[in-house]
Amino acid sequence: MARRRPWYSVLYIQVLVAIALGALVGQLFPDTGIALKPLGDGFVALIKMMIAPVIFCIVVQGIASMKDMKKVGRVGLKTLIYFEIMSTLALIVGMLVAHLVRPGAGLNIDPATLSPTAMSGHVPPTGEYGFIPRLLAIIPDTFVGGFVHGDVLQVLLLAILTEFAISQLGAFGDGITRAVGAAGKVFFGIIRIITRAAPVGAFGAIGFTVGRYSIASLSNLAYLIGTFYLTALLFVLVVLGPVAYLAGFSILRFIVFIKDELLIVLGTSSSEVVLPAMMQKLEGLGIPQTTVGLVFPTGYSFNTDGTNIYLTLCVLFLAQATNTHLTWAEELRVLLFAMIASKGASGVSGTGFVTLAGILSVVPNVPIQVMALLLGIDKFMSECRALTNVIGNSVATIVVSRWEGELHKGTVRGALVAPPSLALVAPVDGDA
Sequential DSSP letters for 97-156: HHHHH-TTTT----GGGS-TTTTTTTSPPTT--SHHHHHHHTS-SSTTHHHHHT-HHHHH
Q: CATH number, domain at 409?
A: 1.10.3860.10
Identify the pLDDT of residue 91: 93
Q: Which domain holds residue 408?
A: 8-429
DSSP 206-240: HHHHHHHH-SGGGGGGHHHHHHHHHHHHHIIIIII
Identify the pLDDT of residue 215: 65
pTM for the model: 0.76
Tens of pLDDT, residue by residue, the chain (432 residues): 446 667 667 776 788 888 889 888 888 888 888 898 888 888 878 877 887 888 788 778 766 665 556 777 788 888 889 998 999 999 999 999 999 998 888 777 766 655 555 555 555 454 455 556 666 777 888 888 778 776 777 887 888 888 778 877 878 887 888 888 888 888 888 888 888 888 888 888 888 878 876 666 566 578 888 999 999 999 999 999 999 999 888 999 999 999 888 988 888 777 878 888 898 889 888 888 888 888 888 888 788 898 899 999 999 998 888 888 888 888 888 888 888 777 655 544 556 666 777 777 777 777 777 777 777 677 778 888 889 999 999 999 999 998 888 877 777 777 776 544 433 333 333 333
Quick count: other Cβ atoms within 10 Å of Cβ 12?
A: 18
Q: Is residue 2 part of a domain?
A: no
Identify the pLDDT of residue 97: 94
Residues 23 and 40: their CA atoms lie apart, in Å, by 13
Question: Cβ neighbours of residue 154 under 8 Å, at least 6 residues apart?
Answer: 138, 139, 140, 145, 146
Three-class SS state of 35: helix
Q: Is residue 1 part of a domain?
A: no
* Host H or E run for residue 5: none
Residues 33 and 35: their CA atoms lie apart, in Å, by 5
- Residue 290 is given by DSSP the state H
Quick count: other Cβ atoms within 10 Å of Cβ 121?
A: 7
Question: How many angstroms separate the Cα of 310 from the Cα of each of 94, 146, 234, 289?
Answer: 7, 28, 13, 31
Q: Is residue 172 part of a domain?
A: yes
Identify the pLDDT of residue 425: 39
Identify the pLDDT of residue 1: 44
Distance of alpha carbon 363 from the chain centroid: 27
Per the structure, the count of domains in the chain is 1
Question: How many angstroms separate the Cα of 158 from the Cα of each of 56, 57, 273, 404?
Answer: 8, 11, 21, 24
Quick check: 236 and 384 in contact, CB under 8 A? no
Q: Is residue 377 part of a domain?
A: yes
Quick check: 155 and 279 in contact, CB under 8 A? no
350 conformational bin, left if phi > 0, alpha if psi -120 to 50, beta if neither: left
Q: Is residue 349 part of a domain?
A: yes
Q: Is residue 3 part of a domain?
A: no
Q: Is residue 415 part of a domain?
A: yes
Quick check: 286 and 426 in contact, CB under 8 A? no
Question: Cβ neighbours of residue 183 under 8 Å, at least 6 residues apart?
Answer: 53, 57
Quick check: 43 and 197 in contact, CB under 8 A? yes
Q: Is residue 234 part of a domain?
A: yes
